[in-house]
Structure 1
Amino acid sequence: MSSNGQPPRFAPTREEIETLALVALSRLPSPFTEHLSDVVLFVEDFADAAILKEMELSDPFELTGLYSGRSIGQEAQTGDGPPTVHLFRRPLLDEWVETGVPLDALITHVVVHEIGHHFGLSDIDMHVLEDMVTL
């Protein structure tokens, strides 16, 4: 127990981040939800070195999420894997602490942004979609 009699609070786990992401995804309106069954969600502590190199990032804390795959409407190629959304726990937690934005709102923001890439949305469209999800 901590000095205030409460159990110690630890940083949210990957599983807790995944739960928040799944809640955000579940709030997406139709027709978006109808096109998400093949999208795979991963929660990892950091992006790996290959991703950072590809993104030309030297600091792993700079990347909170990543969409990989073809946008809806792009022709699939032989050998394409399923589209994926990666959330990077440690950068998300740092941003959460630094900004004071509620964690569920931050996760929703990143998830909507990454899913927006799946649909080929513009940044403006992503903001509109995020507003629909957070209402």
Structure 2
Amino acid sequence: MWITAKAPSLAEFEEMAHEMFGKLPREFRALCEGVIIRVDDFPTDEVLDELGAQTEYDLLGLFQGIGLPQRSSQDIAPMPNMIWLYRRPILDYWAENDETLGHIVSHVLIHEIGHHFGLSDDDMEEIEAQVAD
């Protein structure tokens, strides 16, 4: 099996991310109504600079947008919420750790959404425990 195994392409990785997002608890997914999930190999230089990352491998994912609790009826056509997953840093992390790729993708999704909404690490661990990868 491993002799012919290949790293997932961007399209395959995005498909996996959508599948893992669909396994998250409904109430949690509702926090990101209409979220768009995108996969890229690496974060942009602007994102790395803004977050103070040392290397392009330091960031596994990013949430951009305004969640439901922060939205106001006064908002003028906000940009859609987006979750960026960075394939190469995630694959690098996967190669160095004893976790499944699905678990890592779920973890990144939960943490990107959770941090944006101010959830504690304990809250996020509880959500992760509900997800089977």
Q: TM-score normalised to the size of structure 1? A: 0.84
Cα drift, residue 22 of structure 1:
1.3
Match of 2:13 in 1: 17
Code of the aligned partner of 2:55: D
List alignment gaps of at least 5 residues for structure 1: none
Contact map agreement 1:17 1:107 (CA 8 A) in 2: no
Q: Does 1:54 align with 2:32?
A: no
Q: Which residue is equivalent to 2:70?
A: 74
**Aligned to 1:41, what secondary structure does the other structure show?**
strand
Q: Which residue of 1 aligns with 2:40?
A: 44
| Rounded Cα–Cα distance in structure 2 between residues aligned with 1:115 and 1:66 | 9
Determine if contact 2:31/2:67 at 8 Å carries over to the other structure.
no
Note the aligned Cα RMSD (angstroms).
2.2
- Where 1:106 maps in the other structure, the secondary structure is helix
Deviation for aligned residue 1:118: 4.8
Alpha-carbon contact 2:33-2:68 (below 8 Å) kept: no
Select the structure of larger CA radius of gyration. 1
Instruction: Tell me which of 68, 82, 85 is aligned to 2:83.
Output: 85
Residue 15 of structure 1 deviates from its aligned partner by 1.8
8 Å CA contact 2:36, 2:81 repeated in 1: yes
Which residue type is aligned with residue 122 of structure 1? S
Alignment partner of 1:64 out of 40, 43, 60: 60
Determine the C-alpha separation between the residues in 1 that align with 2:109 and 2:94: 14
Which range moved further: 71-80 or 47-56?
Answer: 71-80
Report deviation, 1:101: 1.2
Compute the displacement of 1:35 (Å).
4.3
Report the CA distance between 1:50 and its aligned residue: 0.3
Paired residue total: 131
Change beyond 3 A, Cα 1:72–1:123? farther
